[in-house]
Structure 1
C-alpha cells in the first residue's frame, strides 16, 4: 500500500475555527497544506479535483452514508431490502435521464416563464422563496405529472421539515432520540407517503402507468417484476425535496450574477429572444441553442457549487493522494476548492462563462466539474436541474433587469451549513419593456 503517513494539518485547524468561516478555512487549507489536508485527527479534506474525484468514484472505499433526513418509515412489514432500494434508485434514474427530461422541456419552460412574469417589479423582493415555489412546481410536476398539484403541498411541508431538522443546535442528539424536529419530520413523511399511496395504487390498476418518473418506477422489471409498494414510497421523499431544494440555492447565485453583471444578462436576453413566444412550444432544440446561457449557468455552478462539501467515511484502511487514510476516518470532499484550482481553470476566481464555449479564447476542455458530484452517487437529477436553471435564467433575463437593492446593507448573507446559499437574497426587478 506504500508508506504510512498522514496528510498535513492546518496549524490552527479545529471544528471551532471551521465553523466560524468554513469557506475561508477551506481555501486556507488548500493553499497552505495542498490537495489533501487534515482538519482534526481522523478528519480529512480532499481539496483538489484528483482526490475529490477519487473519493467519489471509489464508493467501496469511501461509501456514502444513508441520508438521515428521510429514513425508511418503521412498518410491521419491515423496510425495503437493500436490493429493492437499489432497484428503486435505478428506476428513478431512468425517469430522470436526459432523454426523459428532454420530453418535458416545454413544461419546464412554462414554469420558469411564470416566475419571470409574476415576479413583482419596482420593489425589493426576497427571491429564494419565490424561486423555490416555482422550482417545486416544475420539479414535482416532472416527477408526478397530473398528480403533482395534489402532492405539492405535502412536498412543501417535507421541505419545511428538512429545514427544521438541519437548523444548528447546541446539542447533537443520537439518531434514535425522537426530538421534536425528528417527530415533525416523521409526521410530514407519513403524510406525503399516504397522499402518494392512492396515486400508486390507481396507476397500478388497469390503465396507463404514466410517462413521468413515478411511471418509470411502476413499470415491472422483466427480471424481478414490479417493485413492492413500500420500496416505491420510501425512496421518494428525498428525491422530491432534492428536485427543488438544491436548484433553488443555485438559482439564487445565478440571479445575483445577472444583477451584478448587466452585460452578461444582456447577452443572455439576446440569446433568449430565440425562444418561442409560447413557452409550451419550447423543445430540446431550443434549449440546445442557449449556448451562452448554459455556459453562464455552468460558470456560476463552478464558482458557487450548491453542494460545496460532501461527506464520506473510509470503510477500510486505504490510500488517498499518497496518504494513508485509516478505516473510520471522515473525508470531506470539497468541490468549492477543486473548482478554484488554477491547475484546473485559468483565472479560477474570475467569472468567465466563455471558458465553457468553443472558441480560440476558450480551453479545449474545461477542468473538473463536481457541482453534481460524480461516480456511483452522482446527482441523479442533474439533467433536470440544468434544464430548470438554464430556462429560468433565459426567461428571467429575457423579461427583466435585475439589480441589488440600493443602500449600505448587503443583499444577502452566505450560508454554508447545509449547502452554499445566498440566504435572504433580495433583488429588484424592472421590466425590459
Structure 2
C-alpha cells in the first residue's frame, strides 16, 4: 500500500501538552485539523463521528488492546482454552442482553430508590462514593443475586486495584514486570476468585443455578456443553467492576446537571412521580415511559462520555479517511469531540435533552452516540447501565432538589486520565415538596 500524506499536527501539540490538558488539546485538534490529526509520530486521533465509527467497526484493522485489566490468573492446571473463554463470554452476554435486563427491572429499582431516600438533606455530600456504593449493590445483585453481599467487599477491592493500576505514571513498565500495583491487583483478583469459587460449586452441586448472569454461565449450552470452572472465574472480575465503575462516573455528571438545570430536573421529577410506590413493582414498561429522563441521561452522556477516549492499535498498514496509517500505530478514538461534531448535533455544546425526543415526546436517536462504544467491542453492559442510570436519575429527582455548595470555588475537580470524572463532587439535597 503506497504512502499518502500524514494527518496534520496541532501547532504546539505534543505528549507534554496532551498531559497538561487533554480536553483542550482534543478540541483544538478537531477544530483546527479536522477528522483525523496527529499527536506525535505514530499516534493519531480520530476526532469526529465518521472516523470514530469507522475505527470502532473495523476491529480487524484497529483491534482493542489484547491485555484486559484483569488478565486470567496463572494456575498450575493451566489456562482455559481460547474456545472456553469465548463460550464463557457468550454465556455472560446472554444475561446482559436488553431483553434480560428488561425482565429484571424490579430487581434494579429498589436500590436506586434507597440511594435517593437515604441521601442526607441540608448538608454538602461527596457524591461519587455514595453513588458507587449504590451502583455496586445493583450491579452485583444483577450478576450474583443473593450471593452479592458475600462478594461486595471483594468487588470494592477489585475497584481499588483498578484505580491503583490506572494512576498516571512517568514510566510505562513492560507487562511482564510485577510492579507493586500489578501484584496488588493479582492479590485482589485471587481473593475475589476464592470467594466466588465456593458459590459456583454450591450452585452446581445443588442444581439451583440461579436466574442471574452467573446462572446463565453455569447452564450447559447445546453447542459447547458445561463451561470449565476456571473459564467462569476468569471472565467475571472485569465485568463485576464494570457494572458500577463507569456508571458511577456517568452518574456524577448526571447529578451535577440536575443541580445546574432545575427546570430539567423538575421534568424528570414529574415523570418519576408516576413510578410505582413500591420500587420492586417497577417494570420495563414503567422504565420505557420515562422518556424525558432517558433523554436527559443520553444528553449528559453525549456531553460527558465517561470513557471519552478509546485506544486502538493498527495491526497492518491501512487507510483511515484520506490518510495511510502504518502498522503498529496508535489510534485514539475520541467520543468527546465526536459528540461535539456540529454536522451530527445542532448546537453541540448546549445541554438540550429535548434533542433526544420527537414532537410527541417519544425517544429518538439523533446523530452519532459513542458513550457505550459501537461495533464488535461495544459495551456489553449498555442496557444494564442505561437502566441503572435512568432509575437513579428519576428517583433522585423525585425526592430532592439538588444544588452545588455556595462559594467561589468549583464543586469538583475534572479528571481525564482513565475516564471523564467529577472528582470530589459535592452536592446538597433539599426535599422536593
Sort the TM-score into its range (normalised by shorter chain): over 0.9
Q: Is the 8 A contact 1:355 1:363 kept in 2?
A: no
Q: Is the 8 A contact 1:46 1:334 kept in 2?
A: yes
Q: Which residue of 1 aligns with 2:197?
A: 197
Corresponding residue SS for 2:396: helix
Mapped partners of 1:311, 1:155: distance in 2: 25
Q: Which residue of 2 aligns with 1:31?
A: 31
Question: 234-243 or 78-87, which moves further after superposition?
Answer: 78-87
Q: Which residue of 2 aligns with 1:45?
A: 45
Deviation of the 1:166 alpha carbon: 1.2
Corresponding residue SS for 2:417: coil
Mapped partners of 1:205, 1:6: distance in 2: 60
Q: Is the 8 A contact 2:141 2:148 kept in 1?
A: yes
Q: Which residue of 1 aligns with 2:296?
A: 296
Assess, with a 3 A threshold, how the Cα gap between structure 1 residues 361 and 35 changes in structure 2: closer, same or farther: farther
**Gap regions ≥5 residues in structure 1:** none
Assess, with a 3 A threshold, how the Cα gap between structure 1 residues 360 and 399 changes in structure 2: closer, same or farther: closer
Deviation of the 1:134 alpha carbon: 0.2
String of CA shifts for 1:130-168, please: whole Å, max 9, x gaps.
Answer: 000000000010000011110111001100111111112
Mapped partners of 1:197, 1:363: distance in 2: 42
Q: Which residue of 2 aligns with 1:406?
A: 406
Q: Which residue of 2 aligns with 1:181?
A: 181
Question: 373-382 or 71-80, which moves further after superposition?
Answer: 71-80
Corresponding residue SS for 1:39: strand
| 1:130 pairs with 2:130 | yes
Corresponding residue SS for 1:135: helix
Corresponding residue SS for 2:224: coil
Corresponding residue SS for 2:346: coil
Mapped partners of 1:143, 1:365: distance in 2: 29
Deviation of the 1:328 alpha carbon: 0.3
Q: Which residue of 1 aligns with 2:121?
A: 121
Mapped partners of 1:3, 1:182: distance in 2: 40
Question: 285-294 or 1-10, which moves further after superposition?
Answer: 1-10
Q: Which residue of 2 aligns with 1:239?
A: 239
Deviation of the 1:360 alpha carbon: 8.0
Assess, with a 3 A threshold, how the Cα gap between structure 1 residues 288 and 62 changes in structure 2: closer, same or farther: same
Q: Which residues in structure 2 correspond to 1:18-417 (within 5 Å)?
A: 18-359=18-359, 365-417=365-417
String of CA shifts for 1:400-421, please: whole Å, max 9, x gaps.
Answer: 0100000111100111101001
Corresponding residue SS for 1:96: coil
Assess, with a 3 A threshold, how the Cα gap between structure 1 residues 351 and 224 changes in structure 2: closer, same or farther: same
Deviation of the 1:171 alpha carbon: 2.6
Q: Which residues in structure 2 correspond to 1:416-427 (within 5 Å)?
A: 416-427=416-427
Corresponding residue SS for 2:139: helix
Scaled by the length of structure 2, what TM-score is found? Answer: 0.98
Assess, with a 3 A threshold, how the Cα gap between structure 1 residues 325 and 112 changes in structure 2: closer, same or farther: same
Aligned Cα root-mean-square deviation (Å): 1.4
String of CA shifts for 1:101-153, please: whole Å, max 9, x gaps.
Answer: 11211121100000001111100010000000000000010000011110111
Assess, with a 3 A threshold, how the Cα gap between structure 1 residues 361 and 392 changes in structure 2: closer, same or farther: closer
Deviation of the 1:68 alpha carbon: 4.1
Q: Is the 8 A contact 1:354 1:362 kept in 2?
A: no
Deviation of the 1:206 alpha carbon: 3.8
Deviation of the 1:3 alpha carbon: 5.9
Question: 74-83 or 416-425, which moves further after superposition?
Answer: 74-83
Mapped partners of 1:427, 1:321: distance in 2: 44
Deviation of the 1:85 alpha carbon: 1.6
Q: Is the 8 A contact 2:158 2:237 kept in 1?
A: yes
Deviation of the 1:2 alpha carbon: 6.7
**Gap regions ≥5 residues in structure 2:** none
Mapped partners of 1:280, 1:360: distance in 2: 29
Deviation of the 1:11 alpha carbon: 2.0
String of CA shifts for 1:283-306, please: whole Å, max 9, x gaps.
Answer: 000001100000000000000000
Q: Is the 8 A contact 1:355 1:362 kept in 2?
A: no
Deviation of the 1:66 alpha carbon: 2.5
Question: 324-333 or 166-175, which moves further after superposition?
Answer: 166-175
Assess, with a 3 A threshold, how the Cα gap between structure 1 residues 398 and 365 changes in structure 2: closer, same or farther: closer
Corresponding residue SS for 1:45: strand
Q: Is the 8 A contact 2:9 2:39 kept in 1?
A: yes
